[in-house]
Amino acid sequence: MSKHVAIVGVTGAVGQEFLKLLQQRDFPLASLKLLASSRSAGKPMQFAGEQLTVEELDENSFKGVDLVLSSAGGSISEKYAPIAVAEGAVVVDNTSAFRMDPEVPLVVPEVNPGDIGSHEGIIANPNCSTIIMNVPVWPLHKVNPIRRIVVSTYQAASGAGAAAMQELIDGSRAALEGRDFTPKALPHPAAFNAFCHDSEVGEDGYNLEERKMWRETRKIFHDDDLRITATCVRVPVMRAHSEAINIEFSEPMSERRARDILAEAPGVRIVDDRENSYFPMPLEATDRDEILVGRIRQDVSQPDGCGLEMFISGDQIRKGAALNAVQIAELL
């Protein structure tokens, strides 16, 4: 049945991807409302050959809306998602506002689609690095429970939104021309640099992105015992996050077995050509639905055969945000 859909934050990096995906996937739309801040009100946007106009988000935006795809930041979702639900809409929320709320399902369709059924109006889309890790890790965990994960991320500027993408371009140009450049969207210059993920660092030294990776994975996997430690780093990549993942299983896991499992896993594409040194790269993960998985190899530091290494790249605006949310909407 066709839905009356609203996109909140349509002018942003994730919002623009929603527009693209609704067209590409031929989502059954009865109507489409584009919402953003007063700064964007009146801005024209093309959708499926039609010109639509961005409207300012307010308390009356959700009358007659069935489905809200929301990506305008946590405080906006906290305020407006309950209003949309009271109007009868279901909200698929891309922000961190409701992810750890025990009443709100947190869903990666390849992992826990069944959790959608328990929603009371809001379904949370997980953190982008978490989704990208969960898609290839879950099918392995299902056949051989994972005891511990050590993950290091190489995160694109676009993870911090449209302004950070522009800042990477402007900062690169300034660096090449020898001009001074003061970053605003990110805390440090992104060009020719790498730094601790731009989320708050807690007293224990972990940044918030790292915390999200273990908290959210445990909720999605329904496994509070899963041990995960993460190091999340911003790198000068425009789009698509990469992750080096070290896994310790309960039982030995051969490289061959892992490859067979991953070859069948939904949402995964193996890119692992040792002869030509051709492995997952963010440029090749960009605009793709699948998570690219490669460098699959036994961890030599774990002689019991329980350790596995892999390197993955995934488009975090697409599968790490908008696509995951649209897949949830399709399941609804």
Ligand X SMILES: NC(=O)c1ccc[n+]([C@@H]2O[C@H](COP(=O)([O-])OP(=O)(O)OC[C@H]3O[C@@H](n4cnc5c(N)ncnc54)[C@H](OP(=O)(O)O)[C@@H]3O)[C@@H](O)[C@H]2O)c1
Binding interface with ligand X (CB under 6 A): 9-15, 36-37, 39-40, 57, 71-74, 76, 94-95, 128, 158-159, 161-163, 316-317, 320-321
List 119, 141, 197, 241, catalytic entry: 241
Q: Using alpha carbons only, give the angle 126, 127, 132 rounded to the nearest 5 degrees.
A: 90
Q: Any catalytic annotation for residue 128?
A: yes
Question: Least distance from C-beta 214 to ligand X, angstroms?
Answer: 17
Question: Least distance from C-beta 34 to ligand X, angstroms?
Answer: 9
Number of H helices and number of E strands within the chain?
8, 15
Q: How far apart are CA 247 and CA 28, in angstroms?
A: 40
Nearer to ligand X, 161 or 280 (CB): 161
Q: How far apart are CA 301 and CA 96, in angstroms?
A: 36
List phi, psi (to 5°) of 281.
-140, 145
Q: Where are the alpha helices (DSSP H) in the chain?
A: 13-24, 74-86, 128-143, 162-176, 208-221, 255-264, 282-285, 323-331
Question: Least distance from C-beta 268 to ligand X, angstroms?
Answer: 19
Q: How far apart are CA 66 and CA 32, in angstroms?
A: 10
Nearer to ligand X, 36 or 237 (CB): 36
Q: How far apart are CA 158 and CA 21, in angstroms?
A: 17
Nearer to ligand X, 130 or 298 (CB): 130
Which residues face 150 on adjacent strands?
229, 246
Nearer to ligand X, 130 or 144 (CB): 130
The DSSP code for 143 is H
Nearer to ligand X, 309 or 315 (CB): 315
Max alpha carbon distance in the chain (Å)? 62
List 128, 141, 232, 306, catalytic entry: 128
Question: Least distance from C-beta 140 to ligand X, angstroms?
Answer: 24
Q: How far is CA 292 from CA 20, 239, 242, 268, 281, in A?
A: 21, 14, 9, 6, 8
Q: How far apart are CA 81 and CA 68, in angstroms?
A: 8
- Which residue number is nearest to ligand X in terms of Cβ? 12
Question: Least distance from C-beta 320 to ligand X, angstroms?
Answer: 5
Burial of 300 (0-12, 13-18, 19+ CB in 10 A): exposed
Q: How far apart are CA 317 and CA 285, in angstroms?
A: 11
Nearer to ligand X, 146 or 230 (CB): 230
Q: Any catalytic annotation for residue 241?
A: yes
Question: Least distance from C-beta 161 to ligand X, angstroms?
Answer: 3
In contact, 8 and 19? CB cutoff 8 Å: no
Question: Least distance from C-beta 232 to ligand X, angstroms?
Answer: 13
Nearer to ligand X, 110 or 272 (CB): 110
Catalytic residues: 128, 241
